[in-house]
Amino acid sequence: MTRLIAVTTSAAGDAHTHMAAEALKRTAQSMGHDLSVEEQTTNGVKTSLSADEIAAAEVVIVGADRFLDRDRFAGKPLYAVSTSEAIRNTKLVIQNAVAMAESLSNAQLSTKSSPQSIPPQSSPQSIPPQSSPQSIAATQNISTPAHSVPTEPPKTNERFLVGITSCPTGIAHTFMAAEALKQGAIKLGHEIKVETQGSVGAKNQLTDAEIARAGAVVIAADTHVDLARFKGKSVYETSTKAAIHNAAEEIQTALAISSATASASTAGSATGGSQGYLDEVSAAKAKRSQQRSGPYKHLLTGVSYMLPIVVAGGLIIALSFVFGINPPAGTFGDALMQIGGGAAFALIIPVLSGFIAFSIADRPGIAPGLIGGMLAANLNMGFLGGILSGFLAGYVAKFIRDKVKLPTNFEGLRPVLVIPLLSTLIVGLLLVYVFGGPISAAQVGLTTFLENMGSTNAVLLGLILGGMMAIDMGGPVNKAAYTFAVGLLSSNLFAPMAAVMAAGMTPPLGLALATIVAKNKFNQAEREAGKVASVLGISFITEGAIPFAANDPIRVIPACVAGSAVTGALSMLFGCTLRAPHGGIFVLAIPNAVENVGLYIAAIALGTLVTTLSVIQLKRFSPTQKKTASEDLKGSVTPV
DSSP structure class, residue 523: -
CA 581 – CA 500 distance, rounded (Å): 9
Q: What are phi and psi of 78, to 5 degrees?
A: -115, 130
Our answer to whether residue 576 is catalytic in this structure is: no
Q: Which residues pair with 34 in a beta bridge?
A: 3
CA 388 – CA 367 distance, rounded (Å): 15
Residue pair 265/232 in contact by the 8 Å Cβ criterion: no
For 520, counting Cβ atoms within 10 Å of its Cβ (0-12 exposed, 13-18 middle, 19+ buried), the class is exposed
> Could you tell me which of 193, 196, 206 has the C-alpha nearest to residue 171?
196
CA 62 – CA 65 distance, rounded (Å): 9
Residue pair 552/622 in contact by the 8 Å Cβ criterion: yes
> Considering just the CA atoms, what is the radius of gyration of the chain in Å?
27
Amino acid identity of 104? Answer: L
Among 20, 64, 167, 360, the one annotated catalytic:
167
Counting Cα atoms < 13 Å in the Cβ hemisphere of 261 gives 31
> Could you tell me which of 227, 4, 166, 199 has the C-alpha nearest to residue 96?
4
Helix 90-109 and helix 275-288, axial crossing angle in degrees, nearest 10:
100
Residue pair 186/241 in contact by the 8 Å Cβ criterion: no
CA distances from 207 to 145, 186, 193, 221, 230 (A): 19, 21, 10, 19, 11
CA 90 – CA 140 distance, rounded (Å): 14
Residue pair 161/216 in contact by the 8 Å Cβ criterion: yes
Secondary structure, 3-state, 13-65: CHHHHHHHHHHHHHHHHHCCCEEEEEEEECCEEECCCCHHHHHHCCEEEEEEC
CA 66 – CA 306 distance, rounded (Å): 24
CA 172 – CA 179 distance, rounded (Å): 11
CA 545 – CA 556 distance, rounded (Å): 9
Catalytically annotated residues? 167
